[in-house]
């Protein structure tokens, strides 16, 4: 069950902002990010640990957030934390009424809800996605922290659809060590593509 298994009209919003998608298939796309607080996975290398505790982020009216999205921005990214801890039906239906495209970034551990146009599934070893999430994924993004993560990535890729886009992304603190290995791996396994956290290189949110 989702933490807030209600209408979802209030969510623990950590932050929301206009920026550029820095990772994965939609790298370079102007997007409005809505980050919810609360995470049930807690990766040791997470770069937004302040998002883990939902109690640090008071419930905020979804309608108030939606009013602040610029009209000219078409893509909305729901991220976290873990968005699927919450009922996303209300926020996604309202965004669709406004003719927005909705992208979800998730580890896949929560119950699926909402009307999503693009799902980026980023599975973690310490708590795997729910089985039904794999076939919903449009994009599989596996973080490469060490050499064993290549084997993990291949195992995860077995469960997604044939049309799912596959990405390997170096963990930021290990990028100098892992990027050469990822390049070698992708050249030998071209079903995979490389994702970089370009927003960090650009020094934007």
| CA neighbor of 157 nearest in space, from 180, 112, 190, 183 | 190
Helix ranges (DSSP H) in 33-169: 62-66, 89-97, 133-136, 148-157
pLDDT tens per residue across span 57-66: 889 999 999 9
- Residue identified by tokens 């949110």 is 205
Q: Largest Cα–Cα distance of the chain, in whole Å?
A: 48
- Give the separation between CA 95 and CA 78, rounded to whole angstroms: 11
pLDDT tens per residue across span 21-32: 999 999 999 999
Residue 58 gets which letter from DSSP?
-
Looking at CATH, the fold of the domain delimited by 10-197 is given as TIM Barrel (3.20.20)
Preceding omega of 81 cis (within 30 degrees of 0): yes
Report the pLDDT value the prediction gives residue 94, as an integer from 0 to 100. Answer: 97
197 backbone dihedrals φ, ψ, rounded to 5°:
-80, 75
Residue 126 gets which letter from DSSP?
T
| CA neighbor of 171 nearest in space, from 26, 39, 45 | 45
Residue 1: pLDDT band by 50, 70, 90 thresholds? Answer: very low
pLDDT tens per residue across span 143-188: 999 999 999 999 999 999 999 999 999 999 999 999 999 999 999 9
Q: What is the mean pLDDT of residues 187-198?
A: 98
Which sequence spans correspond to the domains of the chain?
A: 10-197
List of residues 6+ apart from 142 with CB closer than 8 A: 122, 123, 149, 152, 153, 156, 167, 168, 169
Task: Please determine, for residue 2, whether its predicted confidence score (pLDDT) is greater than 70.
Answer: no
Dig out the tokens for 92 from the structure. 């996604």
The percent of residues above 90 in pLDDT, for the chain, comes to 84
SS3 label, residue 131: coil
Task: Please determine, for residue 42, whether its predicted confidence score (pLDDT) is greater than 70.
Answer: yes
- Could you tell me which residues are beta bridge partners of residue 118? 103
**In this structure, are residues 106 and 120 in contact, taking their beta carbons and an 8 Å threshold?**
yes
The mean predicted confidence, pLDDT, of the chain is: 93
Q: What is the pTM of this model?
A: 0.94
Ranking 37-41, 73-77, 121-125, 150-154 by mean pLDDT, the lowest is 37-41
């Amino acid at each position: 069950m989702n933490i807030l298994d209600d209408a979802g009209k209030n969510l623990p919003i950590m932050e929301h902002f206009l920026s550029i998608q820095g990772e994965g298939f939609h790298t370079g796309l102007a997007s409005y990010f809505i980050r919810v607080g609360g995470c049930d996975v807690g990766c040791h290398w997470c770069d937004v640990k302040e998002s883990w505790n939902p109690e640090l982020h008071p419930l905020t009216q979804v309608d108030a957030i939606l009013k602040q999205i610029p009209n000219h921005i078409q893509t909305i990214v729901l991220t976290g934390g873990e968005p699927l801890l919450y009922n996303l039906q209300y926020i996604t239906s309202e965004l669709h009424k406004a003719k927005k495209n909705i992208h979800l970034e998730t580890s896949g551990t929560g119950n699926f809800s909402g009307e999503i146009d693009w799902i980026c599934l980023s599975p973690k070893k310490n708590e795997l996605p729910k089985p039904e999430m794999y076939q919903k994924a449009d994009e599989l993004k596996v973080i490469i922290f060490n050499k064993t993560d290549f084997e993990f990535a291949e195992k995860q890729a077995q469960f997604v659809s044939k049309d799912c886009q596959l990405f390997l992304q170096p963990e930021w603190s290990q990028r100098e060590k892992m990027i050469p290995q990822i390049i070698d791996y992708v050249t030998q396994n071209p079903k995979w593509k490389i994702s970089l956290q370009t927003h960090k290189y650009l020094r934007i949110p």
